[in-house]
Chains A and B, each alone.
Chain A
Amino acid sequence: MVSHDIDIAPLIAGDKEAWDSFTRHAAPIVLAAARRTLNRAGRGDETEDVVQQVFERLCRDDFRLLRNYDPGRAGLSTWLTVIATSTALDHLRRLRRFPEPQEQLPEMVEESPPQEDPLPIPRNLLTPRQAAIMALLYEEERDVQEVAELLGVTPQTVRSAHHKAITRLRAYFSEEFPELGGDKSARRSVAPRSKED
């Protein structure tokens, strides 16, 4: 962990000793996050390149990124981990851009559903937290415990938010689309209605 006593000010001022101390403390954090991200894609051997890219990003434009860091908002270790994973993902995206086989494109086009008018659903129907929980439960098909761990909340919070979201969805669909039969309305939503409906 990078201790909170690392002073960013001399680093930004260009103090060589401060830079050496920073690299000594930050490199293991950055290395861990970059390696974990790249290992998932089977590109662990590129970890050192990505670590170097992270430090280049930190120095770029007169330490612009480091200047934006606010120790009052988040710990330096956590922030560096976020920067490292983001840099590793960017690296993977860049690599993917080239070897991606072109023959996959027609398949993707075939799978996409025809463009029809979607249901008019208000943006604020669910709170962002409820929406995040619903996405993880129904799209990612994760269980309550996994969702709780991922979001850093208790399983009870997940259950409660899920219950409220479902209640709200049922109420909305039965009120707005009574012809669809209350909670059965969900079935209707799979086949988007046309303008004449």
Chain B
Amino acid sequence: MSRSRWSESFAEEKAAWLAVAEALRRDESAGEPDPLLLAAWIEGRLDETEAAPVERWIATDPAGAASRIAILRSSLAEEPPAVPQSLLMRLRAMAPSKSHAPAAGILIFWYRLPQALAFAAAVTLGVFGAYGGYELGMTTTRVQEQVEVAALESPVGGFYLTQEDFFFE
């Protein structure tokens, strides 16, 4: 195939592809794939069906995707560099302060035991105090009633009032 014939064929094929690409980009916006999917694709773990979202992304953004994939492949091929100690210290300091689930829970309870006991004692005292006060009030009322009834029923100084006296007075 002569050079000019080849170029003509290339130009025609390119034009045909651009028409398809235009339609593809109009109909769908294939964004960057999920990081885990892209990582699996880079490692060659996906079959053609699973790889479709990644390949669609390449087809819709060939420049961006090619540059991104080239960086990924070359970064993975390179020997990991030494990390400056200062950076490593900063990264370590970023550890979120999060409690260890059950163990930390027990530990926290143990450290706060005196406060917990004091609180429990205060609540118990409060309950008992309230109950004692109620009982005392009730007993006093009962005694007072008995005293009043006894005073009404007992003849004092020859003066005795029966129930009838009240009615026929």
With contact pairs A70-B36, A150-B70, A186-B19 given, residues A129 and B63 touching in the complex (Cβ less than 8 Å): no
CB pair A59 B87 closer than 8 Å: no
CB pair B23 A135 closer than 8 Å: no
Write out, one digit per residue, whether chain A residues 103-137 have a CB within 8 A of any chain B CB (1) or not (0): 00000000000000011111101111101101110
Does any Cβ of A come within 8 Å of B74's Cβ? yes
User: How near does chain A come to B117, taking the closest CB pair, in angstroms?
Assistant: 29
Write out, one digit per residue, whether chain B residues 71-114 have a CB within 8 A of any chain A CB (1) or not (0): 11111101011111001101110111111110000000000000
Residues of B within 8 A of A128 (CB): 51-53, 55-56, 59
Does any Cβ of B come within 8 Å of A1's Cβ? yes
Residues of A within 8 A of B120 (CB): none
CB pair A187 B15 closer than 8 Å: yes
CB pair A119 B91 closer than 8 Å: no
Closest chain B residue, CB of each to CB of A20: B92
Closest chain A residue, CB of each to CB of B84: A48
Residues of B within 8 A of A125 (CB): 20
CB pair B100 A13 closer than 8 Å: yes
Does any Cβ of A come within 8 Å of B165's Cβ? no
CB pair B55 A85 closer than 8 Å: no
Does any Cβ of A come within 8 Å of B147's Cβ? no
CB pair A51 B91 closer than 8 Å: yes
Residues of B within 8 A of A84 (CB): 75
CB pair B14 A138 closer than 8 Å: yes
With contact pairs A77-B76, A131-B55 given, residues A15 and B100 touching in the complex (Cβ less than 8 Å): yes
Does any Cβ of A come within 8 Å of B130's Cβ? no
Q: Dominant SS at the B interface?
A: helix
Residues of A within 8 A of B59 (CB): 128, 131-132, 134-135
Residues of B within 8 A of A14 (CB): 95-100
With contact pairs A14-B99, A52-B90 given, residues A189 and B19 touching in the complex (Cβ less than 8 Å): yes
Residues of B within 8 A of A85 (CB): 68, 71-72, 75
Residues of A within 8 A of B52 (CB): 127-129
User: How near does chain A come to B34, taking the closest CB pair, in angstroms?
Assistant: 9
CB pair B35 A140 closer than 8 Å: no
Choose from A33, A59, A120, A126 the contact partner of B72 (Cβ within 8 Å).
Answer: A33
Residues of B within 8 A of A123 (CB): 23-24, 27-28
Does any Cβ of B come within 8 Å of A148's Cβ? no
Give CA–CA (A180, B24) in the complex, Å: 22
Choose from B15, B55, B56 the contact partner of A189 (Cβ within 8 Å).
Answer: B15
Does any Cβ of B come within 8 Å of A46's Cβ? no
User: How near does chain B come to A83, taking the closest CB pair, in angstroms?
Assistant: 5
4 new A-B contacts, CB < 8 A, other than A74-B39, A81-B75, A128-B52, are A14-B99, A33-B71, A186-B13, A192-B19
Can you list 15 pairs linking A and B with CB atoms under 8 Å apart? A1-B80, A28-B83, A31-B87, A40-B67, A59-B95, A59-B96, A74-B43, A118-B26, A123-B27, A131-B21, A134-B17, A136-B58, A139-B18, A165-B17, A186-B13
Which 8 A-B pairs rank lowest in CB-CB distance, beginning with the nearest? A14-B98, A189-B19, A28-B80, A186-B16, A74-B39, A131-B59, A128-B55, A121-B23
